[in-house]
Amino acid sequence: MYARHEYARKKIEIFHFLTLRRLVSYPRMPLLRACFRQVTPIARSSIRIPAVLGAQSIRFNSTKPVSLTADIFPVEKDSITEENVDEWLHAVQSLKSGKLNIETEAEVYLNQLTKPEQFLEEKFEPTEEQLMELEQFKNSEIPLKSDPIVDNLTNLIMRHGKKTKAQKIVTRALYIVYLKTRKDPLEILYETLDKLGPVVTTMVEKTGFAKNRIVPIPLNKRQRNRYAITWILQGAKNKKSPDMAVRLAEEIISAYEGKSSGYDKMSQMHKTAMQQRAYIKL
How large is the angle between the packed helices 262-275 and 185-196, nearest 10 degrees?
Answer: 30
Counting beta carbons within 10 angstroms of the beta carbon of residue 47, is it exposed (0 to 12), middle (13 to 18) or buried (19 or more)? Answer: middle
Task: Choose the weakest-confidence range: 34-38, 168-172, 208-212, 213-217.
Answer: 34-38
Mean pLDDT, residues 44-65 taken together: 40
Of 186, 192, 271, nearest to 236 by C-alpha is: 192
Beta-ladder partners of 79: none
- Secondary structure string (H, E, C) spanning 233-274: HHHHHCCCCCCHHHHHHHHHHHHHCCCCCHHHHHHHHHHHHH
- Mean per-residue pLDDT of the chain: 77
pLDDT (0 to 100) of residue 15: 58
pLDDT digits (tens, 9 = 90+) for 265-278: 999 999 999 999 99
List strand residue ranges (DSSP E) for 67-197, in order: none
In the chain, what are the domains? Answer: 2-120 (no CATH), 148-279 (1.10.455.10)
Three-class SS state of 190: helix
The pTM assigned to this predicted structure is 0.53
- The answer on pLDDT for 173 being more than 70 is yes
pLDDT in tens, 223-236: 999 999 999 999 99
Handedness of CA 113, 81, 12, 71 (dihedral sign): positive
* pLDDT tens, position by position, 251-262: 999 999 999 999
pLDDT digits (tens, 9 = 90+) for 80-128: 678 877 887 888 888 778 777 777 777 777 776 666 665 566 778 889 9
Q: Are 77 and 67 in contact (CB under 8 A)?
A: yes
Of residues 202 and 9, more confidence is placed in 202
Of 1-5, 110-114, 147-151, 261-265, least confident by mean pLDDT is 1-5
Give the separation between CA 39 and CA 156, rounded to whole angstroms: 73
pLDDT of residue 74: 46
